[in-house]
Amino acid sequence: MVNRQKALLMTLIALLIYPNDIFGNNHYHSVSGGAFPPEFADTIQNVTVSLGRDATFTCLVNHLGGYRVGWLKVDTKAIQAIHDHVITHNNRVSVSHRDHTTWNLHIKNVQEQDEGRYMCQINTDPMKSQTGMLSVVVPPDFIPEETSSDVMVREGGQVKLMCRARGVPPPSISWRREDGKNIIIRKPFAGNALNQKSHVTSVNEYHGEELRLMKISRNEMGVYLCIAINGVPPAVSKRISINVHFSPVIHVPNQLVGAPLGTDVVLECFVEASPKSINYWVKDNAMIISSQQHDVQTIEKSRFEVRMVLTIRNLQKDNVGTYKCVAKSSLGDVESSIRLYEISGPTKAQTAARPSVYDEEDETVYGSAEIEKIENKLLFVDNMINGYVEYPSVATSMPTVRIGKKRQTIGANSNADHRRRGSDLLIVLMLIIGHRKCQ
């Protein structure tokens, strides 16, 4: 009602200022003497602009003569301008013209309420007019109260993420993982309960406002991106973090590690926990901290997994025994044991007389968690010392040996070296047999 009254008032003002210019009866109007009546040279082009940009309508007129051009917003009947005078109180509206043939209506910083049809009219009798449509497109923007924030869930539970956005035209919503991994979608078969088997699909991108994750696992933890796009730049995205909580778990690759005295030994455990756990090493009920003999490291492998590494330098007899890696969090605690024992073998001073097996490090390191290759003869002798006559089974923890590069390499054609190796092996076998007889 207010808009209609305002439009009528503006029309009245225009009539008072230009009484003959709105509806014809212009004293300049004459078709005699060979004069041509005014006509439009071309149609008005529709205009589509993004919110906040500028828009311009152009009206081309031939033979205007003494007639005048006016601009009108059709839906509100509000006069925008007459000839080169702006009537509306909207300070974002202006007009310009060139050679009485090109007439422009300018709208700066276009807003959504500016959308609609605009009329260019010539005050002939009857009036001539044509219209053009102003369409305002709006880039997408999220609706905060209808969009999820970061969530926390226990492993095996369900998560429902919502993402809604506004914009013109209405935006479409898609989901991706920030780390590039696929999204796991689980849907129960028809008639099945939630704890029964479900149909599982893996997709790189999921479309829809709602993303439902069922029976979620720790591997699905991370940041999910909600992306809204409607063809009007810029597209927008929102980061939603999913934290999956579970009790600590420890994995020990080698629970039995053997190494000669005087060498460096590496023990390691892999811990998975969320929230993050407190991790430490224990021997004989005492916590081990970094020192001249011990080097304690915690290496983060993923959002929920860490690698605990304990390096024992210059192994001595009092270092032999049981080591425990411990992980504690608010959801529980867990520990696992590694037994370190002494084996006969070269000390650091003797490594130069041994054949080269690896060419990785400057020092001899025993007890790596990554199971590597070692010489068959060394395995055979070690197993006999510990009471085994065959290779360890999968269930038996195998001491991992990495021998550094500061060792003499034995040539393939050296008979003297072959005889020396055979003699050394024979001496070891005799010592073992003598040891068994003594028992």
Domain ranges, residue 279: 252-342
pLDDT per position as a tens digit, 250-289: 999 999 999 999 999 999 999 999 999 999 999 999 999 9
Compute the average pLDDT of residues 360-388. 34
Does residue 29 lie within any of the structural domains? no
Confidence of residue 188 (pLDDT cuts 50, 70, 90): confident
Choose one of 309, 342, 375: the last residue of a domain. Answer: 342
pTM: 0.66
Confidence label for 197 from pLDDT (cuts 50, 70 and 90):
confident
Question: What's the CATH number where 305 sits?
Answer: 2.60.40.10
Domain termination site, one of 102, 121, 137: 137
Residue 417 — φ and ψ, nearest 5°?
-65, -40
The mean of the pLDDT values for the chain is: 79
304 shares its domain with 331: yes
Cα angle vertex 31, ends 68, 80, to 5°? 15
Residue 149 lies in a domain: yes
Residue at 86 is within a domain: yes
Residue 314 inside a domain? The answer is yes
Whether 155 and 237 share a structural domain = yes
Whether 234 contacts 244, CB under 8 Å: no
Residues 64 and 101 in one domain: yes
Compute the distance between CA of residue 216 and CA of residue 149 in angstroms, rounded to an integer: 17
One domain, residues 312 and 271: yes
Based on the fold, state whether residues 240 and 257 are members of the same structural domain.
Answer: no
* Of 137, 162, 179, the domain-final residue: 137
**Residue 237 covered by a domain:** yes
Contact between 199 and 188 (Cβ < 8 Å): yes
272 and 221 in one domain?
no
Residue 347: inside a domain: no
Measured from the Cβ of residue 192, the count of other Cβ atoms closer than 10 Å reads 12
- On whether residue 11 sits in a domain, the answer given is no
- Asked if 102 and 158 sit in the same domain, the reply is no
Nearest Cα neighbor of 205 from 227, 237, 234, 238 is 227
Across the range 389-416, mean pLDDT stands at: 33
